[in-house]
Structures are given as C-alpha cells and as structure tokens.
Amino acid sequence: MRTQCNAEQLEFSCIGRRRVVAAFDGGQVSSDAGALLLAHTDRAIGLIDRLAGCFVDGRAPELIEHSVRTLVAQRVLGIAAGYEDLNDHDALRADPLWGSLIGKLTARRRDCEPLAGKSTLNRLERSADRQGRYHKISHDGRAIEGLFVDLFLQAHARPPRRIVLDLDATDDPLHGEQEGRFFHGYYDGYCYLPLYIFCGRHLLVAKLRRADGDGAVGSVEEVQRIVAQIRQRWPKVQIILRADSGFAREALMGWCEQNTVDYLFGLARNARLQRVIGKQMQQAKEQAARTGKPARVFRDFTYRTRKSWSRTRRVVGKAEHLGGKANPRFVVTSLPKSQWPMQELYEKRYCARGEMENRIKEAQLQLFADRTSTHTFKANQLRLWLSSFAYVLIEALRRLGLKGTSLSMASANSIRIKLIKIGALIAISVRRLKLAMSSAHPYQPEFIAAFHALNAAAR
C-alpha cells in the first residue's frame, strides 16, 4: 500500500479569520465511487464476461498477471467513466476502487500492480494486427459484432411487434497517418467513415470503413447479418429500415423487397421529382404568402429512375415554402398507403430519424468512439468496438437503473458528472472494502434508486 509522509500543506486565501489550507494527506480517496453502478450494470447484463469470451489468449497461463477479462473490463469501464486514453490507466491501476470494479485488489507478483498499465492494454488493442512474441491475444470480430445484437435482444422481455433500424454514416476525423485514411470532400478532411445502426437508443452496429466509397457501402451485408440474427429470435417482428438519401440505393432496397423488410429512405431531389410536385410547390408558396407562416403540401406518387432502379416505387414529396424559399423534400418507401398516409409517414416516421444523430454524437463525443488514433485499421476497429460497448453499458444503466428518475434521459456526460464522479474515502479491512461517499452529494436519491433497480434486474 502506498504511503505519503510529510505532505506539503498548501495555503489559499482566508475566509474571515479562518485560513484555507490543503494537503494530499486524506488517505485513500477516489473520485470515481459512482463507477460502482457501472460494474453493477455489467452484472445485470453480462457484457464484460461475454465480450472477454470473444478473445483468445495465447499467453502462458502461469506467467499471466492480467487476464483478458481484466483488460477488457478496464477499457470498457474506463471509457464509460471518462478515461479515454491508455495512459490514464497508469494512474488508475493501483486505485482500490478500480480494483473492486474489476474484481482484483491484489497482484500475484510483487513487481506488478493489481491492474494493467498502458503497455499491457496497448498489446490488447494491437493484438488484432499480427501474432508473435508480443501479440498473443486475438479476437473474433464476428462474435463481437453478434454480441451487440444479442444484448439488444436480451433487453426486451417479449418480442416487439415492430422495430425501426436507423442507418447512418458519419465522419471520424484522422490527424495522423493511419492505415486506410482518405480525404473526403464533403467533410473536407482525412477521415474514416464508420457505419452505425441503432434501434432507438440500442446500438447494433459500429462498423469502421474507409472514406473512399459510397456512404452505403457494406450496408447490405450488415443489415443481412443483423436481420438474420433478430429473426432467429423474433421470427414475426416487422422490421423497417430508415435512413437518409445516401442509403436509397438499388442494392439495399432490392434486398429489402426480396426479404420482407420494409424501408423508408430519403431521396435526393432532382429536376424530374421537382416537376412532379410543381403544383404543390405553388400551393405552398401561395399559402405561405397568405398566412405569413411556413407552409407544407404533400403529394404521394410512384416513381422510377431512368437507369438505376429495377422497379417503380412509392415516393412521397413534401412541397414546403420556408423563410421565403422553396424547400422540396422526398422519401421513398415500401410502406403501403393504406397504413401510412403521406403526411404522417414523412413527419412522424421519417423525421424521427434525427434522434439517431444525437446517439452518434453521444458515442463519438462523450464516449470517445472517434479516438481511432492507432496506426492500423484493425486496431482502430477494435477501439471503436470498445467505445461502443461503453455506450451500451451507459445505455443499460439509463434503461435499467435510472428509469423513472430525473436522469432517465440524461446524456453520458451528465450521468458521468452527476453519478460516477463521486468522491469517497476508501477503508480496506480483512472482511470488507468500505467507501465513505460524500454526504453532500446532491444525487443520492438517484444513486440509491439505481442501485436497487439494478439489483432487481440482476436477479
């Protein structure tokens, strides 16, 4: 156990007659006591054990200090708690709080800390590159991809009648010489172009891709894989794909039509489409001039491109006049008119896809899914998966632990600041590890409610 003698006393400005002094002599104190809820959430959904099972450890067991399960748990829990860099773990590896989260308070060897540092964790992430003396851990990418869908299916007590799968591509900016980097004109920089698929707040796919192809590249293969996995468990569920115009491609729409999957995609406007709703655009313009407010008029029609489409499809056009300008928009769908009237289809069903963009921002900006800064493409894909599982863990905490509380819709950052970053004094005895958390913590009711809810979910 580390000790510190004669800690320097630091004196700050006075408050009245009282001096304000500080020193690093408080004993074993952690600022991450709330991360206990993350470990509790993991016990409820079984994420880390199953993720660790997707790795193969070729190291000699008698020489191992840090198991694959320990390494995986450190990275996923660390990212969820806000520690995005491997360097951070050099400071965390001797923290008893983090030892309790991982389930390892002492090291077998005297020259080791209980938890792994940056070098060992780096070998885990780089193990995808090659096998050799320093690369003896490998992972099964298909098993990892399947785990996302398994956790999604497990989150439902009974099969839903209908699910909507949102697809989107986004940029992952690169600032080095990473393998497979390309300049993307739309994003005006070097980047990767990962594909995400969500169902509501559930993350099903986080696929790293190079940025030198169409935004829909690989989408048919990913949809085919997850639809097969979903239908194996839920054979009668209606599946609807929803995406912007970048996914309105013949290959994806044709696959959906052949496999009884519905779709609702944006459709890029062109001169032909705009002529079809010319009358409605005039009506919207006149209505906007008369009322002084934005006006929308819809038209439902069938359409087929001259070359790229194999058949005629249903298209809904929105003729909108907004801010003194025309703003026509279109969607193409397989959903029937009898069940989905044109205005409801566009405004209530298609426009709801914007919520997915918030989930992508949360994954990238708050859970560090864009930290693909290692050199090789495979290692960066593994990094993306680890960050994505941290998102899954936070979402499970929201769904299972925080339902009905003031934090039920909180972002990952808010949950981290309000529930995870709690100061606590740590006392270790023969029989227990006691964390004395701050009595002034303002979110005690939410923490206690989450603890009991997760206990119930783990049973």
Place 131 in a pLDDT band, splitting at 50, 70 and 90: low
Which has more pLDDT, 64 or 143? 143
pLDDT: is 449 or 7 the higher one? 449
Does a structural domain hold residue 450?
yes
Would you state the pLDDT for residue 133? 66
- Across the chain, mean pLDDT equals 93
What's the pLDDT tens digit per position in 156-179?
Answer: 999 999 999 999 999 999 999 999
In this structure, the answer to whether residues 334 and 443 fall within a common structural domain is no
For the stretch 186-215, what's the b/e string if a residue is b when 16 or more beta carbons lie within 10 angstroms of its beta carbon?
eeeebbbbbbbbbbbbbbbbbbbbebeeeb
Average pLDDT value for residue range 373-379: 92
Residue 1's pLDDT band, with cuts at 50, 70 and 90, is very low
Structural domain that includes position 100? 27-139+405-458
Average pLDDT over residues 295-314: 96
Residue 5 in this model has a pLDDT that exceeds 60? no
Rounded average pLDDT over 263-279: 97
Which pLDDT score is estimated for 25?
80
Percent of the chain exceeding pLDDT 90 equals 82
Same-domain check for residues 215 and 78 = no
The position carrying tokens 């709801």 is 352
Q: Is the pLDDT of residue 149 over 70?
A: yes
Same domain, 264 and 116: no
Residue 268, C-beta contacts closer than 8 angstroms, at least 6 positions apart:
245, 248, 330
Q: Is residue 393 situated within a structural domain?
A: no
| 1 against 87, higher pLDDT | 87
* Domain count of the fold of the chain: 2
pLDDT of 22 above 90: no
**How far, in Å, CA of 196 to CA of 357, rounded?**
10
Angle CA 69–81–165, to nearest 5: 80
CATH number at residue 219: 3.90.350
Q: What percent of the chain has pLDDT over 70?
A: 97
User: Does residue 420 form part of some domain?
Assistant: yes
Does residue 329 contact residue 221 with C-beta atoms inside 8 Å?
no
